[in-house]
Amino acid sequence: MTPSGTGRRRPRSRIRGSARLALVPLCAAALLLSGCSSGSDGKKDGSGGTAAGTAKPTAKPKEKRATADPAAYRRWGLDKPLAAPPAPPATRLTAHHKGGTPQIVRRVPTKDKVVFLTFDDGAEKDPAFLRMAEDLKLPFSMFLTDSAARAGRGYGYFDKLRALGNGVHNHTLTHPNLRTLSAEAQKREICGQQETLRKRFGKRPELFRPPYGNLNDATLAAAGSCGIKAVVLWQATMQINDMRYAEAGKLRPGDIVLAHFRGPAELKGTTMTRMVANMVRSVQRQGFTVARLEDYV
């Protein structure tokens, strides 16, 4: 479950909808796995989640990553670097998407012993994590909520992470439970953040994650209308010291791992860098390495 002290109760609604979406098991797992906490949904900073200004697009992220230095891993309390991932598939899941309803991705279909790390919201902007991300050469994807990401140090923090090769994607303007909103309100939340990120980074994201994992047909229609190709969910969540799993009690090839930009207030005194070190250990202990989500999806 989400660490205590977040200050708000998350919505507990169960997804019902068309059988075509098969969302009942999905959202039972999503709620069990503690989607996104209120500690990073905008409550902390009080922002209303308005659209960003007209900042110049930032530089394109690096396409290739340097080999990690074992000494750099030891600086963060890790015994050895993650193994290099295998070559990604020749064709990504969304390569043939022609518009319309986005694909729902709960796990990446692969036999490779790889998992994919994702960080949501953007409330915590720990400078130490910038150093850690550069030291570890750790690939991950960021799903940013405007009201959280713009607070404090603002989007400049995520510029630096993106410059290391990490993807930036959509997590709505204000982190609502989308299933409680009208179709038009959902479109404002999703397409509004598309425009915010386009202005900031020079392009609209192709990937979207709904807060709490909650979505319905209107969510998919809204996301598709503003250029989303895939709705990315998850199969494991990183807690403070270890992971929790939707099924099987362990990682499986292609699992998407949900984590958050969180600090000591949400992690019972633990820093984000320590949580991430624990996550890397868990991945290594189970015989996996980390691949770049955008190379597969």
pLDDT digits (tens, 9 = 90+) for 105-116: 999 999 999 999
For the record, the structure tokens of 19 come out as 């059988």
Q: What is the DSSP string of 6-65?
A: -SSPPP-PPP---GGG-HHHHHHHHHHTT---GGGTTTTTT---PPP--PPPPPPPPSS-
| pLDDT tens-digit map of 85-105 | 999 999 999 999 988 999 999
**For the chain, which residues make up each domain, given as ranges?**
19-43+103-296
Give 3-state DSSP helix, strand, coil % of the chain, rounded to 5: 30, 15, 55
What value does the mean pLDDT take over residues 23-49?
38
| pLDDT tens-digit map of 116-136 | 999 999 999 999 999 999 999
- Scored b (16 or more CB within 10 A) or e, 60-81 reads ebeeeeeebeeebbeebebeeb
**pLDDT value of residue 114:** 98
| pLDDT tens-digit map of 180-199 | 999 999 999 999 999 999 99
* CA atoms of 27 and 212, how far apart (whole Å): 9
Question: What is the pairing mode between strands 256-260 and 114-121?
Answer: parallel
What fold, for 19-43+103-296?
TIM Barrel (3.20.20)
Q: In sequence order, which ranges of 43-180 are alpha helices (DSSP H)? A: 70-75, 127-136, 146-149, 156-163
Does the pLDDT at position 175 exceed 90?
A: yes
CB 103 within 8 A of CB 231: yes
For the ranges 39-53, 219-233, 277-291, which has the lowest average pLDDT? Answer: 39-53
Does the pLDDT at position 263 exceed 60?
A: yes
pLDDT band at 66 (very low <50, low <70, confident <90, very high): low
CB 253 within 8 A of CB 275: no
pLDDT band at 36 (very low <50, low <70, confident <90, very high): low
* Predicted TM-score (pTM) above 0.85: no
For the ranges 10-14, 104-108, 247-251, which has the lowest average pLDDT? Answer: 10-14
Neighbours of 174 (CB within 10 A): 20
CB half-sphere exposure, 19, CA atoms < 13 A: 0
